[in-house]
Amino acid sequence: MKKSVRRRFSSLAIASCGSDASSPSSTVDVPSTVAGVGSLPPLGLRPLGLADTPNTFPSGEPVPVRDETVGEVATGPRLLMIGDSILATVSRRYSNLACQELTPLGWQVSVEAEVGRAVEFGLRVLSEKMDETWHAAVVFLGTNYWRDQDQYEADLVKILDRLEPRPTVLLSVSEWGVGQREVNEVIADQVLTRDNVWFLDWKSISETPGVLSSDRIHPSDEGNELLVSLLAEVLGRAPGDEKGSCLPSEFVDDMRLPDGQEGPGAPSENATESGGDGASSTTSAPVTSTRPGATTTLP
pLDDT tens digit sequence for 177-226: 889 999 999 999 999 999 999 999 999 899 889 999 999 999 999 999 99
Q: What rounded mean pLDDT belongs to the chain?
A: 76
**DSSP-assigned letter for residue 24:** P
Measured CA to CA, the distance from residue 146 to residue 139 in angstroms comes to 18
Which of the residue ranges 204-213, 254-263, 290-299 would you say has the lowest mean pLDDT? 290-299
% of residues, the chain, pLDDT over 70? 67
* pLDDT value at 168 more than 70: yes
**Closest of 68, 75, 79 to residue 28, by C-alpha:** 68
pLDDT tens readout for residues 125-164? 999 999 999 999 999 999 999 999 999 999 999 999 999 9
pLDDT tens readout for residues 37-65? 555 444 333 332 223 334 788 888 888 87
End-to-end CA distance of the chain: 23
Which of the residue ranges 41-50, 63-72, 78-87, 238-247 would you say has the lowest mean pLDDT? 41-50
**Closest of 142, 135, 223 to residue 181, by C-alpha:** 142
Structure confidence at residue 178 (pLDDT): 87
CATH code for the domain defined by 3-253: 3.40.50.1110
Residue 94 CA to its chain's centroid (Å): 15
* pLDDT value at 8 more than 60: no
pLDDT tens readout for residues 93-109? 999 999 999 999 999 99
Structure confidence at residue 266 (pLDDT): 26
| Residue-wise burial string across 267-283, b where 16 or more C-beta atoms lie within 10 A, e elsewhere | beeebebebbeeeebeb
Is the bond into 165 cis (omega within 30 degrees of 0)? Answer: yes
CB 292 within 8 A of CB 283: yes
Structure confidence at residue 5 (pLDDT): 36
214: buried, middle or exposed (CB in 10 Å: 19+, 13-18, 0-12)? exposed
Angle, nearest 10°, between helix axes 149-163 and 179-193?
30
Q: Can you tell me the mean pLDDT for 5-33? A: 37
**Parallel/antiparallel/unpaired status of strands 168-171 and 78-83:** unpaired
